[in-house]
Amino acid sequence: MKRDAINSMKKWFSGHNRHPLVIRGARQVGKSTLVRDFALAEGLALREINLYRNLDLIPAFRSLDPKRICQEISDRISSDVTAPGGILFLDEIQAIPEAIDALRYFYEEMPNLPIVAAGSLLEFALARHNFSMPVGRVEYMFLGPITFGEFVAAADEYLLKSISMENVVAGVSDAVHEKLMDLVRRYMLVGGMPEATQTWLDTQNFAEVSAVHRRIVNTYIDDFAKYAYGADLALMQSVFRAIPARVGEKVKFVNYSRESKAAKVASVIDLFIKARIACPVVHSDSNGIPLGAEERPSVRKLLFLDVGLMNYANGLTWTRLSDMDDIALVNEGSIAEQFVGQHLFFRRGDFEEPRLNYWLRECAKSNAEVDYVVEDGSVVMPIEVKAGAAGSLRSLWQMTADKHLDQAIRFDAGRFSRQTVRTGDNGHCELTTLPFYAIGMKN
Q: Could you read off the pLDDT of 369-396 as tens digits, one per residue?
A: 999 999 999 999 999 998 877 768 999 9
Cα-based angle 264, 269, 271 (whole degrees, multiple of 5) = 95
Q: Give the model's pLDDT for residue 81.
A: 97
pTM of the model: 0.94
Q: Give the model's pLDDT for residue 440.
A: 79
Q: Give the model's pLDDT for residue 299.
A: 97
Q: Could you read off the pLDDT of 119-129 as tens digits, one per residue?
A: 888 877 766 66
Q: Give the model's pLDDT for residue 120.
A: 83
Q: Give the model's pLDDT for residue 135.
A: 72
Delineate the domains of the chain, giving CATH numbers in brackets. Answer: 5-142 (3.40.50.300), 182-440 (no CATH)
Q: Give the model's pLDDT for residue 226.
A: 75
- How would you write the pLDDT of the chain (443 residues) with one tens digit per residue? 899 999 999 999 999 899 999 999 999 999 999 999 999 999 999 999 999 999 999 999 999 999 999 999 999 999 999 999 999 999 999 999 899 989 999 999 999 999 999 988 887 776 666 666 667 889 999 999 999 999 999 999 999 989 988 999 999 999 999 999 999 999 999 999 999 999 999 999 999 999 999 999 999 998 887 777 667 888 999 999 999 999 999 999 999 998 899 999 999 999 899 989 999 999 999 999 999 999 999 999 999 999 999 999 999 999 999 999 988 899 878 999 999 999 999 999 999 999 999 999 998 777 899 999 999 999 999 999 988 777 689 999 999 999 999 999 999 999 999 999 988 767 889 999 999 999 977 65
Q: Give the model's pLDDT for residue 132.
A: 63
